């Protein structure tokens, strides 16, 4: 979570508390909080439909939807503020997998094991999807709505205009940068390449940008065997150098554009459909925006946009890299209506609703019965490709310290993209920050 001044936090708190006066101890009302921002229109529609169905099946019950219109970092801040008060804490919340352990530590989430033990649908979830909602104590605190992978989206029309053969199959980082250089030279009005970077982009920068690079080097972010954070690695410096090459080399958006909280919406809703961006490092959900049910329908997207795995740094094995995450539904620890909250969650996550949401939001299914359903497989031309790169994927370190480490990654990225520091300087500052967060005994040299 990014740092905020006391005044800013107070202002957000005031807005949150004023706009979300809760039902208190009303046994027939539950409050459901979720993100509504940019490309999350499908989630809003999903929640509205589940509310309608749930209220129809449960006479006298009211589901109060609390859509939080905020970019990711601000969503986390507002959700945390809601959870600090009994009056505003949600019964059910949309929870990023990487926030689960820290939110369990903060006392915001209730364990779900007693409900899952009696839920027949639980057997349909893949094991790694089950583990995504696990806390440090081994209990389950969130149930996956879907997962994702990340890769390179590229505009085949622009590639052909620039004389770059398609299908494009970059094998190294240099291949990616070379294509961007060609686009810059041949199509100067087009943004060659977008990789999210900087503090305002939060996890879109840290995970979707930086970690997609770092996990393609010989190094890693966290040593799972030693259970220690890696500092002093060449892979970290090289990843920052890639960011510097893009932004200081004029191959990406301007730093001002990149630091705009709304750049994700602009990239997917404006730049790509209007042939203003050639290559975008982004997620499997991207095409959901362009479907008829999305917020920017683009019927031609499948004819224009190609996909390619993100290569490893020098083409070393396994040759490609991806990152996976995903969001869950979780139950609030302060909920006075936990049984009713679970019933809502179970309906929202059943086979029918999971499949409808996964199709609408272009999610990779986490239920076997959905993933094997022909209606799901045939619903989106990109599902086959993004499912195929699951074998190359990595997951963020599942520790309660991760959110603080992630913030320091975005600080380092912003320092090099704006030219304030060299990659070596930014990496050294990052190392100091990590040691300050976890202690030197919990770090290891790369």
Per-residue pLDDT tens over the stretch 79-112: 999 999 999 999 999 999 989 999 999 999 999 9
Task: State whether 309 and 434 are in the same domain.
Answer: yes
pLDDT above 70 (res 395): yes
More confident residue, 397 or 432: 432
Task: State whether 279 and 427 are in the same domain.
Answer: yes
Task: State whether 314 and 340 are in the same domain.
Answer: no
| Mean pLDDT (the chain, rounded) | 92
Residue 430 falls inside a structural domain:
yes
What tokens were used for 44?
A: 């809003």
Task: State whether 137 and 163 are in the same domain.
Answer: no
Residue 244 falls inside a structural domain:
yes
Number of structural domains (the chain) is 2
Report residue 10 CA to chain centroid gap.
Answer: 26
Task: State whether 112 and 198 are in the same domain.
Answer: no
Is residue 224 within 8 A of residue 311, CB to CB? The reply is no
Segment 132-153 shows an average pLDDT of: 95
Residue 2 falls inside a structural domain:
no
* Cis status of the peptide bond prior to 318, with omega within 30 of 0: yes
Q: Select from 379, 395, 411 the last residue of a domain.
A: 395
Task: State whether 126 and 16 are in the same domain.
Answer: yes
Counting Cα atoms < 13 Å in the Cβ hemisphere of 310 gives 32
Residue 360 falls inside a structural domain:
yes
Task: State whether 318 and 429 are in the same domain.
Answer: yes
- Name the burial class of residue 278, with classes exposed (0-12), middle (13-18) and buried (19+) by CB atoms within 10 angstroms of its CB: buried
**Where would I find the beta strands (DSSP E) of 310-446?**
310-311, 320-324, 327-331, 393-395, 443-445
Interval 254-292: pLDDT, tens: 999 999 999 999 999 999 999 999 999 999 999 999 998
What tokens were used for 194?
A: 């977008």
Residue 253 falls inside a structural domain:
yes
Task: State whether 409 and 268 are in the same domain.
Answer: yes
Residue 1 falls inside a structural domain:
no
Helix (H) / strand (E) element for 191: namely: strand 191-194
pLDDT above 80 (res 15): no
Choose the weakest-confidence range: 16-25, 60-69, 410-419. 16-25
Task: State whether 134 and 231 are in the same domain.
Answer: no
Residue 4 falls inside a structural domain:
no
Residue 354 falls inside a structural domain:
yes
Task: State whether 180 and 279 are in the same domain.
Answer: yes
Domain containing 191: what range?
A: 150-324+401-445
Interval 221-243: pLDDT, tens: 999 899 999 999 999 999 999 99
The pLDDT assigned to 25 comes to 64
Given pLDDT bands bounded at 50, 70 and 90, which one contains residue 38? low
**Domain CATH code at residue 91:** 3.40.190.10
Segment 375-391 shows an average pLDDT of: 93
The pLDDT assigned to 10 comes to 34
Task: State whether 184 and 287 are in the same domain.
Answer: yes
Task: State whether 296 and 412 are in the same domain.
Answer: yes
């Amino acid at each position: 979570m990014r740092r905020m001044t006391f005044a800013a936090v107070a202002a957000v708190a005031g807005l949150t508390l004023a706009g979300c006066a809760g039902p208190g101890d009303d046994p027939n009302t539950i409050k459901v909080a979720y993100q509504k921002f940019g490309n999350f229109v499908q989630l809003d529609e999903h929640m509205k439909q589940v509310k309608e169905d749930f209220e129809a099946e449960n006479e006298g019950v009211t589901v109060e939807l609390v859509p939080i219109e905020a970019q990711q970092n601000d969503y986390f801040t507002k959700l945390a503020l809601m959870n600090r008060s009994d009056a505003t804490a949600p019964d059910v919340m949309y929870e990023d997998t990487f926030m689960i352990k820290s939110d369990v530590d903060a006392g915001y989430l209730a364990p779900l094991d007693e409900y899952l033990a009696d839920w027949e649908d639980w057997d349909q979830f893949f094991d790694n999807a089950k583990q995504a909602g696990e806390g440090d104590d081994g209990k389950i605190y969130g149930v996956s709505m879907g997962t994702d992978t990340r890769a390179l989206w590229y505009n085949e029309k622009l590639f052909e205009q620039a004389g770059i053969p398609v299908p494009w199959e970059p094998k190294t980082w240099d291949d990616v940068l070379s294509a961007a250089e060609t686009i810059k030279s041949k199509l100067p009005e087009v943004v060659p390449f977008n990789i999210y970077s900087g503090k305002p982009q939060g996890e879109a920068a840290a995970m979707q940008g930086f970690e997609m690079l770092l996990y393609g080097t010989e190094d890693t972010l966290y040593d799972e065997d030693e259970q220690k954070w890696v500092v002093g690695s060449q892979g970290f410096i090289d990843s920052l150098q890639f960011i510097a090459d893009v932004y200081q080399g004029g191959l990406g958006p301007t730093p001002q554009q990149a630091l705009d909280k709304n750049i994700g919406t602009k990239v997917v809703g404006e730049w790509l459909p209007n042939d203003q961006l050639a290559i975008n490092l982004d997620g499997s959900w991207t095409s959901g925006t362009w479907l008829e049910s999305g917020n920017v329908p683009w019927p031609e997207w499948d004819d224009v946009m190609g996909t390619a795995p993100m290569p490893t740094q020098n083409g070393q094995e396994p040759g490609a890299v991806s990152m996976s995450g995903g969001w869950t539904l979780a139950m609030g620890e302060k909920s006075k209506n936990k049984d009713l909250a679970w019933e809502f969650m179970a309906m929202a996550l059943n086979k029918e609703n999971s499949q409808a949401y996964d199709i609408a939001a272009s999610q990779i299914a986490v239920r076997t019965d959905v993933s094997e359903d022909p209606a799901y497989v045939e619903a989106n031309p990109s599902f086959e490709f993004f499912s195929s790169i699951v074998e190359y994927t990595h997951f963020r370190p599942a520790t309660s310290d991760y959110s603080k480490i992630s913030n320091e990654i975005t600080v380092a990225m912003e320092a090099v993209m704006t030219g304030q520091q060299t990659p070596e300087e930014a990496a050294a500052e990052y190392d100091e920050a990590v040691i300050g967060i976890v202690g030197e005994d919990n770090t290891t040299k790369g």
